[in-house]
Structure 1
Amino acid sequence: MRQTELPIFSSPQVVRGTRIEGRVLGLYRTLADGFETTAVETLELGFGGIAGDRHGGMTRRSGGREPWYERDTEMRNERQLSLLAPDELAAVAAELGIAEIRPEWIGGNLLVDGIPQLSFLPPRTLLFFENGVTLKIDGHNNPCRYAGRAIADQAGGGTDVELGFVKAAKHRRGLVAWVEKPGVIAANERFEARVPEQWIYPG
């Protein structure tokens, strides 16, 4: 029997993990059925995220982001929380020619400071909050026209802003995360981001 030859891969460059200190500038949640969030002083988080929140729950329904499933297929909810950074929001607003983009306009849950290029934190990054909560980053949040329309409704600019947001916010739309260890996050609370080892798979 002929032995199957295994492919030979070059060894990838491995970048060591690191730790970065950050701080919570603002907390937000949905209080109704709408997309926008409202500022709150604390977020009480369970394994399903924010109880009663639009994006809460252990599972969610698939949509346009998951073309490999039939729409509305029940799946694991890895998008329980939306994290945003003020410098990225300001950069997107400047590119769109508007004064500001507020986190609540685009459904943000946490506005955080101290993490350079927040949207580029890799999957599996863990955020350890000083009061005990741990969040796990699933990945970056792709910008969509729905969020662009919400910004245009608040800041003006019409279709130019609605459509322009998708391009302007690419890799600056923040992150989505899920709750690994529940508890309560408070405004101004500090946290540590533990970034794992990273590499590009050579196959």
Structure 2
Amino acid sequence: MTLPMFPAEAPVLPEIRPARRIKGTVSAVLAALGGDFPTEEVQSLTMDFDGVVGDYHAGPTRKSGSREPWYPRGTEIRNERQISVVAPDELAIAAAGMGIDRIEPAWIGANLLIEGIPLLSMLPPRTQLFFEGGVTLRIDGDNGPCRIAGASIAKNFPDRDETSLALSFVKAAKRRRGVVAWVEKPGIIANGETVTAHIWEQWIYPAG
């Protein structure tokens, strides 16, 4: 139902949850410096406004893919997926769902492994990540698991059927594959830094 432009009475607002902050810790920093999306651990991440300097996903723009069916594939669009952030507890749950002992962050192209923030993959869009060293990242949203990342995992378990294991990642890691973010304030992120997630006011938009 569309609300009138000038209603006689102001509409009732939905429940609004106040802003809050949650602290976590960076437990690994990784970069994809080899021309493909899998990453490897590094000493620190140097960030500019394009993302991690030298990383496979760096750049102000990117090509659209299956996540953007409203554009022809390959359309140049803003790169809101500069940084991949994951949590060890969520990866452990996803691994259990796949029947494997672990999922290494590097296998799925993660740049940051962050501990201590519950349900990291559920952090809402617009959340800011303030790092102790001065970097700020802005979360675009959760990172949907795909078969490509699943195939990267499956390569590390040669005793399992590669196709079925790759496909199982899509279900097992749904809403547990972390978030993607872009650089709001550049600088350097080092392993062991404290990070504070600033979650803005939240509500459910009620109009149908």
TM-score, length of structure 1 as denominator length: 0.95
Contact 1:62 1:71 in 2 (8 A): yes
CA distance in 2, matches of 1:186, 1:35: 21
What is the DSSP-based 3-state SS (H/G/I as helix, E as strand, rest coil) of the residue aligned with 1:171?
A: coil
CA distance in 2, matches of 1:36, 1:18: 33
Matching residue of 2:169: 165
Shift, 1:154, TM fit: 1.1
Count of residue correspondences: 200
What is the DSSP-based 3-state SS (H/G/I as helix, E as strand, rest coil) of the residue aligned with 2:25?
A: strand
Find out whether 1:185 has 2:189 as its counterpart: yes
Superposed CA offset, 1:53-90 (max 9, x none): 11001111111111111111111100000000000000
User: Aligned to 1:138, which of 127, 131, 140?
Assistant: 140
Consecutive unaligned residues of structure 1, counting only runs of 5 or more, are: none
Shift, 1:163, TM fit: 0.7
What is the DSSP-based 3-state SS (H/G/I as helix, E as strand, rest coil) of the residue aligned with 2:96?
A: helix
Give percent identity, aligned residues only. Answer: 56
CA distance in 2, matches of 1:5, 1:137: 33
Shift, 1:9, TM fit: 5.2
Matching residue of 1:174: 178
Find out whether 1:25 has 2:27 as its counterpart: yes
What is the DSSP-based 3-state SS (H/G/I as helix, E as strand, rest coil) of the residue aligned with 2:156?
A: helix
What is the DSSP-based 3-state SS (H/G/I as helix, E as strand, rest coil) of the residue aligned with 1:155?
A: coil
CA distance in 2, matches of 1:18, 1:104: 30
Superposed CA offset, 1:91-142 (max 9, x none): 0101111010000000000000010010000001001111100000000000
CA distance in 2, matches of 1:155, 1:27: 24
What is the DSSP-based 3-state SS (H/G/I as helix, E as strand, rest coil) of the residue aligned with 2:66?
A: coil
Matching residue of 1:79: 81
CA distance in 1, matches of 2:132, 2:172: 33
> Where does 1:89-128 land on structure 2 (aligned, <5 Å)?
89-128=91-130
Matching residue of 1:194: 198
State the Cα RMSD in Å. Answer: 1.4
